[in-house]
């Protein structure tokens, strides 16, 4: 009976191995058909996007979203088509039934080849399906002979007499609502997802591993001398507090042995706390990388929302009055490069060093404070001189008057 049990296990193992080999070989031999099918589906999506662009001619935002979706599907088509060509060449099992799909895919790719060669950094829609979009050239690089407000007033009057003005207003409102919702969702995701990833990974994965490794290797309790000095100061403060209470007779008379035992118990508590602080600081380094990775993943998989967020922020910034823009500029410059900014930078750098368990190097901190705000101030001034003076001269004038 005992001899048959290992043989059954060996038989089951061999059968599972055969099934795995059979499945792997079948998947390898069907690679051309699978790659071509994925490319065909993406090509069909591109065709649907081309049809949708005819319905959103008045929405620059939705057109940008469709362009991003088209770029993604066009990349998938090219990658899967390359996979199909390589696998069919290696395996040599091209099916005649796939000729129609291959022809359709090649038509889609050929349609966009000329556009890609003329502008390799931007995959645009073909001219026959391009939505009517206003010129997106930066208006800050152009200065007209008349103020732009006159042109905006004339355009507003023309829009009011347009019989389709009401439907266009409703469409613009719907597009604005969709854009705002996507922008708020992205902002919430950029805050919540990295914070949750950082904290959850630290509490349930990284911190227990660091604790186990440090206990196994008998690592040092303190990461640097400043942490040791803080522990000594806390212990001395506790011991002096006991002696003070004893001298003023607010506590019962304690013998030397009792005081020693209390101090020893407090030292053990302090050692445990600082050992956990050291492990927490080491865990913060790895957990921060997890949070940064989560932030990057949110940005990578939210291209449509990123476009919506850019448009949303542009609407907010350009919708502010000149006084509000000047106030924000003064507030930012005073916070980051103002007279009292060195104290803020010092607090930030010390907080980062404590978070990562690094001893604060005061020479490096003072060097950073002496150079970085100066560089940042130069960037602010250049940006105001180069862009704000063209984009909103009245804002620059208000900014100068408020500074004076």
pLDDT tens column, 103-124: 888 888 887 765 544 444 333 4
- The pLDDT of residue 60: 62
With b meaning 16 or more CB within 10 Å and e meaning fewer, what string describes 185-215? ebeebbeeebeebbeebbeeebbeebbeebe
More confident residue, 249 or 136: 249
pLDDT, tens only, 352-386: 888 888 887 788 888 888 888 888 888 888 887 77
- The pLDDT of residue 297: 92
- Backbone torsions φ then ψ of 306, nearest 5 degrees: -65, -45
| Structural tokens at position 178 | 């969709």
H or E stretch at 127: none
For residues 345 and 247, what is the distance between their CA atoms, to the nearest angstrom? 44
Alpha-carbon distances of 326 from 39, 118, 313, 376, rounded to whole Å: 51, 41, 17, 18
More confident residue, 126 or 98: 98
For residues 261 and 321, what is the distance between their CA atoms, to the nearest angstrom? 68
pLDDT band at 341 (very low <50, low <70, confident <90, very high): confident
- The pLDDT of residue 193: 92
Question: Residues 138-149: what's their mean pLDDT?
Answer: 49
Residue carrying the six token digits 């008057």 = 401
pLDDT, tens only, 55-70: 655 556 666 677 777 7
End-to-end CA distance of the chain: 99
pLDDT band at 217 (very low <50, low <70, confident <90, very high): confident
Q: Is the pLDDT of residue 298 over 70?
A: yes
H or E stretch at 86: helix 60-91
Q: Is the pLDDT of residue 23 over 60?
A: yes
CB 302 within 8 A of CB 266: no
Question: Residues 251-260: what's their mean pLDDT?
Answer: 72
- The pLDDT of residue 250: 61
For residues 399 and 385, what is the distance between their CA atoms, to the nearest angstrom? 12
pTM as predicted: 0.57
**Residue from 130, 146, 106, 153 nearest 54 by CA:** 130
pLDDT band at 160 (very low <50, low <70, confident <90, very high): low
């Amino acid at each position: 009976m005992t001899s048959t049990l290992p043989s059954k296990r060996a038989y089951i193992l061999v059968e599972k191995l055969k099934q795995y080999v059979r499945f792997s070989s079948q998947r390898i031999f069907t690679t051309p058909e699978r790659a071509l099918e994925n490319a065909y589906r993406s090509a069909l999506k591109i065709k649907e996007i081309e049809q949708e662009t005819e319905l959103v001619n008045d929405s620059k935002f939705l057109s940008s979203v469709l362009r991003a979706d088209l770029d993604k599907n066009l990349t998938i088509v090219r990658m899967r088509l390359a996979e199909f060509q390589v696998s069919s060449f290696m395996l040599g099992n091209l099916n005649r039934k796939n000729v129609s799909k291959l022809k359709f895919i090649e038509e889609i790719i050929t349609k966009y080849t000329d556009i890609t060669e003329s502008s390799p950094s931007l995959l645009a829609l073909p001219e026959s399906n391009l939505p009517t979009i206003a010129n997106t050239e930066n208006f800050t690089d152009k200065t007209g002979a008349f103020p732009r407000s006159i042109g905006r007033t004339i355009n507003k009057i023309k829009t009011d007499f347009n019989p389709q003005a009401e439907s266009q207003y409703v469409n613009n409102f719907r597009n604005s609502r969709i854009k705002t919702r996507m922008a708020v969702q992205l902002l919430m995701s950029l805050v919540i997802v990295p914070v949750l990833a950082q904290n959850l990974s630290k509490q349930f994965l990284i911190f227990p591993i660091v604790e186990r490794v440090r206990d196994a290797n008998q690592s040092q309790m303190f990461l640097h001398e400043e942490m040791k000095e803080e522990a000594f100061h806390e212990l001395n403060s506790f011991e002096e507090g006991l002696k003070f209470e004893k001298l003023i007779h607010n506590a019962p008379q304690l013998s030397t042995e009792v005081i020693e035992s209390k101090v020893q118990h407090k030292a053990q508590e302090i050692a445990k706390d600082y050992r956990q602080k050291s492990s927490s600081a080491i865990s913060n380094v790895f957990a921060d990388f997890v949070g940064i990775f989560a932030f990057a993943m949110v940005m990578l998989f939210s291209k449509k929302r990123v476009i919506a967020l850019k448009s949303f922020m542009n609407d907010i910034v350009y919708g502010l009055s000149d006084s509000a823009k000047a106030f924000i500029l003064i507030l930012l410059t005073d916070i980051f490069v103002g007279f009292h900014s060195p104290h803020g930078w010092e607090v930030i750098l010390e907080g980062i060093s404590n978070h990562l368990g690094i001893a604060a190097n005061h020479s490096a901190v003072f060097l950073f404070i002496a150079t970085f705000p100066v560089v940042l101030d130069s960037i602010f001034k250049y940006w105001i001189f180069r862009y704000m003076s063209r984009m909103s001269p009245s804002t620059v004038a208000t900014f100068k008057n408020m500074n004076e």
